[in-house]
Every structure is written in C-alpha cells, then in structure tokens.
Amino acid sequence: MVNCCGLVTDRKEPVPLKSIDAQLEVKDHVATLVSTLNYENKEDKPLEAVFVFPLPGDAAVCHFSAQIGETHIVAEVKEKQQAQEEYDDALSSGQQAFLLEESDESPDIFSLKVGSLPPGESASIRLEYVTELAVQADDGLRFCLPAVLNHRYHPQGSEGPSVQVTSVPASLVPYSLSFSAQVSSPRPISKIESSCSLEPLQYLNADQTQATVKLVAGHKFDRDVELLIYYKDAHQPSAVVEAGQASAKPGSLMGDPVVMVSLYPEFPQSVMSSLAACGEFVFLVDRSGSMSCPMNNSTPQETRISSAKDTLLLLLKSLPMGCYFNIYSFGSSFEHIFPTSVEYSEKTMKEALEKVEKMGSNLGGTEILRPLKHIYSQACIPKHPRQVFVFTDGEVGNTKEVTDLVKKNAGSHRCFSFGIGEGASSALINGMAKEGGGHAQFITGADRMQPKEMQSLRFALQPAVEDISVSWGLPKGVSATVLSPPIKAIFQGQRSLIYAQLTGQVGSPASHFEAGGSVTVKYSLAGHPSQNQLHFKLKPAEDSGLTVHRLAARTVIRSLESEERTRRGQQDEEVKIKVVELSIQSGVSSCFTAFIAVNKDSGKAVQGPLVRRNVPTVKRCPVGATLQKPLIVSSIYECSGLLKLTSCTHLSSSFHFTCDGDLDSERSYPKSVQPHKDPLLQLVSLQKASGSWMLDEDLTAVLGKTKEEVEKAKPELVGCSLK
C-alpha cells in the first residue's frame, strides 16, 4: 500500500515537489528567469524524484544548483553520457545527486532528476535561463512560463521518447507557483498584462522605466503564465556591448566582448506602395485527435480545431484577388482540398470554406512530415512566391526532423507557423518559422488572435528581401565576428537580432568610447537596394552580467547542432566536439551535454533502495461544452484589420461599424448567422472574396442594425464596395 502522506497525484502517489518560486528580470527585450523548486521527502524511504517539464525552446539554460540544509552545490556542464554515468555512480554509492538534461527529441523539454533524497530531507533546486522576448503584433513583448507539457506523438517507425511525461488534470496539480517580475527599459513601460491574475503594477521611478508585478497569491501552476510587456516607442533600434568574462581566455567567445544588435528595418514607402500583392498561399492544418482538446484550462469550451478553423477563415477572407491557394490537413494521413493550388476567386474561396467548415479532429496522430514533403515536391507557380502557413498544437515527437526538412526547402518558400492552444511546442513553432524565413505566432485564446493573423499575412504579402549583407564600421584595431546565422528574412518593422564577437582593443584607447561603432544591414527589395544603419557606443554596459554572451553562445550551439544533424555520418563527431566544448565553456546547455551535481559532503551514505516518484505536469482537460458565452461588443469591426490588404486599403481609414449592447440577445437571426459565434468572425464570414459585403439580412443581423441605419452610415467614398 502506498504511503499517501504529503502531496499526492491522482494515482495517490506522493509528490516530493512542494512549490516553485519564479523570479523574472526583464531588461528591455531580454529576460532572465530564476526558478527555485522546493522538494521535501515526507516518506520513510529515500526517493529519486523525476520531473519532465517544458521550457521555452529558444532559452539558454545557464545555471543549475542545489541547496541541502547548509550545503550549496553548483552543477557543472559535462558531456551527457559522462554526466549520466556520474549520476548513476553517485546513487549506487548512496550519495545525493542532481541531473538536468535536455531531451534528445526537442530542445523545449527538460528532465530534472533529484536522486537519493533521504526521509525527512528537504532540497531547493535553482534553475536559471535567459531568453529573448518576441515582439507581438500589438507591439507587446511576450514572455511565457510554460506549465503545460502535452504528450508528443511519435510517427510509426521513428524512435520513441527518451523521457516519459507524467501528467494530471489541472485541478490536481500538487504544487503551487509564486511568480514575480521586475522590468526595466530605456523607454517608459506603458502596461503589463497576463493570462493569469496579477496584482497591480508598481512603478519604481518617476519616469516609469522600472516596474514590478507579480501573480496574485495562491496561484496553482495549472496553466501557462503568459506576460505581455508594452513599452512606449517599442520599435527603437538598440545595441548592447557586454564585457567578456575576466577568467575566460582572450580570443574565446566568453573572453571577448560581445555586442547584441536589435534592428527594426523600415522599407522605403515608395517601393512598398508600388508592389502588387501576389503569391501562392498553402495552408496546412493539424487535424490530429489532440486538436479536439481545449485551447487552455481557462476556457475549456473553445477547442483547438475550432480556433484553427477560425484563424483559417480570417486569412482566407483576406487574400488578394488573383493569388493562388490550397488547403492541406493532416493527422496520421493527409488530405488536400484541390489537387494543386488554384486561383483565388469567389468560387474557389466558397468551395474551400465549405470544406473547412466540415473539418474535424479525426485524422489520428500528428504526422506532419509527409504532407510537408508533398507540398515541397509540387512545382512553384512563376511570379507567385510560395508562402506556407502551418496550424498545429505542436504535439510531435520528431521536432528536429521537421525543422530540418523546412530548412532544407527554405529556398522555395517562406514558412509562417501558428501554435494553437496552450502547451504548443515552442521549439517546433519557432523552429519552423526561423528555418523557413517566416514568422511564428502563438494563439492560446480568442483575444489577440486577429492582429496576430493579420500581421503574419502582411509579412507574407511583403516581397522576399534578397542579397542580405551585414557590414561593420569599427575603430582601427577592432573587428567583429558575426555569431548569428545569416539573416534569412527581413520584414517591415519586425526585429532582427545580430550577435557579434568583438576582438582587438575594444574600449581602449578612451577615444574609442566616443567614436563608437556602427552596423549596416544592406538588402535588395523588389530590385531596389536599401539599407538600415545603427550607431552604438563601444563602452560595455554596466551590470549586464553575461546574459548577452550566453544568448550568443546559445545561438552558436543551435547552429552547430543543426549542422551536426545535416552532416550526420559525415564528420559529425567533429561538430559534436565543438558543441560540447562551447557548452562547457559558456555554461549553456545543449543536446550533447547535461548539468550534473553530486553532494560529496553529505556525511554518511543514503541507505536502502530508492523509490522513484514522477513529478506530474498539467494534463489537458477533457473537451467541455462548445457553447460560448454571449459577447458584448462596443465596436465590432474596423476595416483596418481585416479588410483586403490590397485593393480595399482606401476603405480602412474611413469606414467602421459600431453597435452597442448584447449581440446575442433574443433577436431573430437568419439561419446562416450563428448567435453564439464571435460577431467579428460572423462579419468576416459574410465578406466576399473582393472585400465587399452584400447588404442583406445576414449582415444587418450581425451588425445589430437595420438596413436603413447601415445605408445611412455608408461613406460615399466606398459606396461601390457595399452592394
């Protein structure tokens, strides 16, 4: 019989993890998270606690330590096999040991093992990582502390997972989370929002460039914690120079200064206004069984497949006339609506939407490789650049294989990925967009869905930037070695990051401080040469630690790992050695290394066989009711968001409908109008391929207006567009 003292899972197994304390520090658009995991063994047997959990796929894990009573142990980064052997040897000899390692299948899954925790003993594990914050469509910077680790599907014939995920329903998560954030920026902080309840924002200075915020007390770690940070004038280019580590060898990445450059390219308006929208838009929709699950634990009535279909509706309605498109869907097998891409028209759009409406999450597993290979095998349409949009909850076990395939075919398309629902794999969603020269979005609820979709479509309608080059203007004796992989894509107003190692007499003589340096990104846009330049000071920033160095090291490590997979079987051992050396030198984790800590000063050995206890993560909830609550809308629609992005742009600044009150009150709706559905989606569903609406009872029902009221509000400038 299991001793059920202390925290227990739904299987009545004790859980030694009591609580997690997470402290976030944000400096401009770089975040450092320090998590403290508090363990206590309340059983009468020694334990090995195993916790498999998600982290952001682009995070650089850079510190791991343990506190047992008065003893503090800092883990070392070692080659993974060596670390595992040291951990096993420590346990067999009765010593306490701690092991943190990245999954072989996906860089956003980590396994933490706390070994030989004696009865009555407590231990605090400190885990630290740094990451860049992605800029959202509404200019907010997004940080996500993931709690949900969805099970990953492994296609038939592929290798199984090296780690097993233990999960429980959200209501039974047996440990709590305390979370606080401190934010600082050169620019004022406008606001901070979250998917979870926050205490009021507190500013720390008069100019509002520093602030703190934290979750309300008693928060259960039963869902992802999403934080959105808004700065005034967020699109300002910047550069940070960070001094090297004093103990590191000069000439090495950690020993030399490193600069992180953040650019927001602005394309010449004269060029942008002359470009005709065209392209082949290929939509790939996940219809695996997991897409029937709720978007998040807060709104169980909203499913992932319904959100994916709504997203697809908005995008299809916004395509420019004359482009080409097709829709694929996949699970264990895949389907397509048209044999090949067809020209976008009222007829083809209507046919596609009728089939989209019937889509269900009924195609089995999540096997995305086969449909991707099929899409890449299709001939491209001349003068219509291919844009692939992928909608998935990211529950795949072969993440690296998928991103490698996208990278291999990056020359023939751009990839725009949408992570649908809480727990979507950040490694897959970000990886596909990065390797495919596109853009990634995460949709975890109806809020902010529309601006995200429109941002990706605007990016897709922008022409591909070609002949991208980076040049540096530095004082004599100083040179820059770019550490980032070559820039594959540049979008209007979207941030581009560059890391570079500075060698030579940086910061000396003193005149270099004043002279500073510059970086210039040159490129060709529709045959027109363009460039963006940033000047910066060479003096290292104060109190920046080694954050920039670790992010740069992470960038190099990921590039080398990708190279190793590409060259596997051909001198791959040489690349692996480089990864291990840099990982150990920088203290940043990789797929070939792990953090290992052994308590050699614990006195007597722990006696008796270890009992393994798996620490659970959140399990997705069963699908609940599909009926949504009525929505109260004060301004239902402004055409600047969802009208055609090409021929109808003249409409966007002058035309909007406004309706007050509950749109789902007991009025009589036509059969084509569904009163429980989002009014904005209802309105978009009535839009024609040309961007116009028919002024009929369906439209007036959605607007909550009479036909006469709509006629009266119709601007003369666009009278031809509303029939």
Separation between Cα atoms, residue 214 and residue 201, nearest integer Å: 8
Percent of the chain whose predicted confidence (pLDDT) is above 90? 48
Q: Which residue has the higher pLDDT, 634 or 322?
A: 322
How would residue 409 be classed by pLDDT, with cut points 50, 70 and 90?
very high
For CA atoms 387, 388, 393, 397, the dihedral sign is negative
Fold of 244-271+465-539: Immunoglobulin-like (2.60.40)
Using an 8 Å Cβ cutoff, are 22 and 38 in contact?
no
Fold of 277-461: Rossmann fold (3.40.50)
Q: Tokens 């956003």 appear where?
A: 108
For CA atoms 54, 59, 62, 63, the dihedral sign is negative
* C-alpha 48: how far from chain center: 32
The tokens describing 314, both together, are: 């908005």
* 7-151+166-235+587-602 classified as CATH 2.60.40: yes
How would residue 141 be classed by pLDDT, with cut points 50, 70 and 90?
very high
Per-residue burial over 204-229, b if 16 or more Cβ lie within 10 Å, else e, is eeeebbebbbbbeeebbbbbbbbbbb
Please determine, for residue 662, whether its predicted confidence score (pLDDT) is greater than 50: no
Across the beta sheet with 611-615, what order do the strands follow? 76-79, 593-599, 96-102, 109-117, 47-54, 611-615
Which residue, among 602, 562, 89, 155, has the nearest Cα to 371 in the 3D structure? 155
Please determine, for residue 396, whether its predicted confidence score (pLDDT) is greater than 50: yes
Average pLDDT score over the chain = 82
Q: Are strands 280-286 and 386-392 parallel, antiparallel or unpaired?
A: parallel
Q: At what angle do helices 304-317 and 346-357 cross, to 10 degrees?
A: 180
Q: Which residue has the higher pLDDT, 520 or 616?
A: 520
Separation between Cα atoms, residue 66 and residue 68, nearest integer Å: 6
Separation between Cα atoms, residue 90 and residue 624, nearest integer Å: 47
What pLDDT was estimated at residue 339? 95
Separation between Cα atoms, residue 62 and residue 254, nearest integer Å: 13
What pLDDT was estimated at residue 583? 97
How would residue 663 be classed by pLDDT, with cut points 50, 70 and 90?
very low
33-56: pLDDT as tens digits:
999 999 999 999 999 999 988 899
For CA atoms 305, 306, 307, 311, the dihedral sign is positive
336-363: pLDDT as tens digits:
999 999 999 999 999 999 999 999 999 9
Kindly state the average pLDDT of the residues 618-626. Answer: 47
Q: In sequence order, what are the beta bridge partners of 220? A: 176
The tokens describing 264, both together, are: 């927001």
For CA atoms 658, 661, 662, 667, the dihedral sign is negative
Kindly state the average pLDDT of the residues 534-555. Answer: 88
Q: Tokens 């119709």 appear where?
A: 714
Please determine, for residue 83, whether its predicted confidence score (pLDDT) is greater than 90: yes
Using an 8 Å Cβ cutoff, are 628 and 21 in contact?
no
The domain ranges of the chain are: 7-151+166-235+587-602, 244-271+465-539, 277-461, 637-721
Question: Rounded to two decimals, what is the model's pTM?
Answer: 0.83
Using an 8 Å Cβ cutoff, are 420 and 392 in contact?
yes
Separation between Cα atoms, residue 324 and residue 280, nearest integer Å: 5
Can 7-151+166-235+587-602 and 277-461 be said to share one CATH topology? no
The secondary structure of 640-697, three-state, reads: HHHCCCCCCHHHCCCCEECCCCECCCCCCCCCCCCCCCCHHHHHHHCCCCCCCECCCH
Using an 8 Å Cβ cutoff, are 595 and 64 in contact?
yes
Using an 8 Å Cβ cutoff, are 522 and 530 in contact?
yes
What pLDDT was estimated at residue 464? 80
Q: How many CB atoms lie within 10 A of CB 87?
A: 22
The tokens describing 425, both together, are: 């794999």
Using an 8 Å Cβ cutoff, are 27 and 181 in contact?
no
Q: What are phi and psi of 531, to 5 degrees?
A: -155, 155
Which residue, among 280, 275, 492, has the nearest Cα to 383 in the 3D structure? 280
Q: How many CB atoms lie within 10 A of CB 6?
A: 14
What pLDDT was estimated at residue 641? 36
